[in-house]
Amino acid sequence: MSINRRNFIKNSVTAAAGIGMVPSLAGSVLSYPAGTNANDKIVLALIGARNMGWGDLRDLLKQPNVECKTLCDVDDAVLEQKAKDLMDEGHPKPLLEKDYRKVLEDKDIDAVIIGTPDHWHCLPTVEACAAGKHVYVEKPLANSIGEINVMMDAARKYKRLVQVGQQQRSGDHWKSAIEFVQSGKLGTIRQVKFWANFNYGAGNMPVPDSEPPEGIDYDRWLGPAPKRPFNQNRFHGSWRMFRDYGGGLMSDWGVHLIDMGLWAMNVKTGPRSVFSMGGNFANRDRALEMPDTLTVLYEMDGFNMIWEHNGGVQQGPYDQLYGVKFIGTNGTLIANRERWKVLPEWGEEAYRMEAPEEQPSDKKSHINHCANFINAIRTGEKLAAEISIGHLSALYAHLGNISHWVDERIFYDEKTRRITNSEKADSLITPAYRSPWVFPSV
């Protein structure tokens, strides 16, 4: 996108705000004005390049006239490998950077992808919004409720587009599943259940602390998280089983699947209450802080929601290791990333409903999600997983973990952003940031 256009938008917002008008951009915080310069180049940078961020970048670069200027990571080996991979795929040589703040200073960059571990989503997102960049941030939106709240405040204050990497929102078979649930054909839905059984949820075998490998800025990888010696298990890929950096299966898979339940049931607010039970019951010899076994009861208006995960096993109901099901009086709809189908209830003489044919996924949800982000910037198309969507499902996931840690049923008040019945639980809403990193205020 040309600098002139960026300045034009910035100036028109400032000018309109200055004379008390509602500026067009502010009036439509979730979309850019459509029409002008729809073919302008969009320049991206990737922050956190090893795995999912890289996948996001690749699908974003498949969109017309999108370019990657900079790769940012704290690991030299990741930077070098991904720069080579980019060039092998015919893209220009990117700049390489270890400090994301330098990336945000670059006026050429229109949008950033944030593919860092969960404890490193908040600061770059807030600062990117403040710097005028749009953001594609991976899920879960962040690693705590305090962080997701301030991120949403930043997106709103700076009027930036923030797409959360909950790509199911852009999947056609998910859309048709949600439409089917909402059609009423299943009858009254009294329970929505989610399950996620994955071997990686058992953690790895313990290994001793060691020196960080050459070329890694470990202190910067820790960032706002507490200082501690390097341990390979708490690092690339497997950090998600440790509380300082991630929320285990509850937030890793929870946000994806719970989002489908909230979408289908048209839920826009937090639960009435949350109660979790679990622990590390089956993998006590492993290196993990998050429970390998967890069941969470969400009290909703007129129905129940239940989350369940089992780390270290991969069998699940209906022969699916993960999924969501909607239990209606006429039938149950079961969905995962591969397909959805309906199991009708038998009435006295006939099935209570006609089950549609099984609906397979076209496996395009991620590329669609990336196209949607670019179209939102260019044409004002509505974001499929706008930040409030990522915020809500992350809220449910974090409340599930907090209830487990304090071993209490908890009540969260969205207005005050507090857990109202437990000081212990309330104290877990916002993490303490390690100096020199400061928890952002917006």
Ligand X SMILES: NC(=O)c1ccc[n+]([C@@H]2O[C@H](COP(=O)([O-])OP(=O)(O)OC[C@H]3O[C@@H](n4cnc5c(N)ncnc54)[C@H](O)[C@@H]3O)[C@@H](O)[C@H]2O)c1
Q: Rule CB under 6 A: say whether 32 interacts with ligand X.
A: no
Q: Rule CB under 6 A: say whether 440 interacts with ligand X.
A: no
CB atoms within 10 A of CB 5: 13
Structure tokens given for 91: 């893209």
Shortest distance, position 178 Cβ to ligand X, whole Å = 18
Instruction: Single out the segment in contact with ligand X by CB under 6 A; choices: 44-52, 146-154, 295-303, 344-352.
Output: 44-52
Residue from 13, 16, 25, 52 in contact with ligand X (CB under 6 A): 52
Q: Rule CB under 6 A: say whether 136 interacts with ligand X.
A: no
Shortest distance, position 77 Cβ to ligand X, whole Å = 9
CB atoms within 10 A of CB 80: 14
Residue from 226, 237, 279, 360 in contact with ligand X (CB under 6 A): 237
The DSSP code sequence of 206-238 is P----PPPTTB-HHHHHTTSPP----GGGSTTG
Residue from 58, 133, 134, 139 in contact with ligand X (CB under 6 A): 139
Q: Rule CB under 6 A: say whether 244 interacts with ligand X.
A: no
Rounded distance, CA 200 to CA 314, Å?
10
Rounded distance, CA 378 to CA 312, Å?
44
Structure tokens given for 25: 């951009």
The site map against ligand X for 78-117 (x = CB under 6 A) is x---------------------x--------------xxx
Residue type, 368: N
Shortest distance, position 42 Cβ to ligand X, whole Å = 21
Residue from 201, 223, 331, 400 in contact with ligand X (CB under 6 A): 223
Separation of CA 86 from chain center: 25
Shortest distance, position 186 Cβ to ligand X, whole Å = 27
Residue from 1, 9, 44, 49 in contact with ligand X (CB under 6 A): 49
Q: Rule CB under 6 A: say whether 73 interacts with ligand X.
A: yes
Length of the chain: 442
Q: Rule CB under 6 A: say whether 75 interacts with ligand X.
A: yes
Rounded distance, CA 175 to CA 167, Å?
11
Q: Rule CB under 6 A: say whether 72 interacts with ligand X.
A: yes
Q: Tokens 């909950």 — which residue? A: 166
DSSP code for 412: E
Rounded distance, CA 310 to CA 429, Å?
25
Nearer to ligand X, 105 or 285 (CB): 105
Q: Which of 148, 162, 193, 138 is nearest to 398 (CA)?
A: 148
- Report the interface residues with ligand X, using CB under 6 A: 47-53, 72-75, 78, 100, 115-118, 120, 138-139, 165, 167, 220-221, 223, 236-237, 239, 252
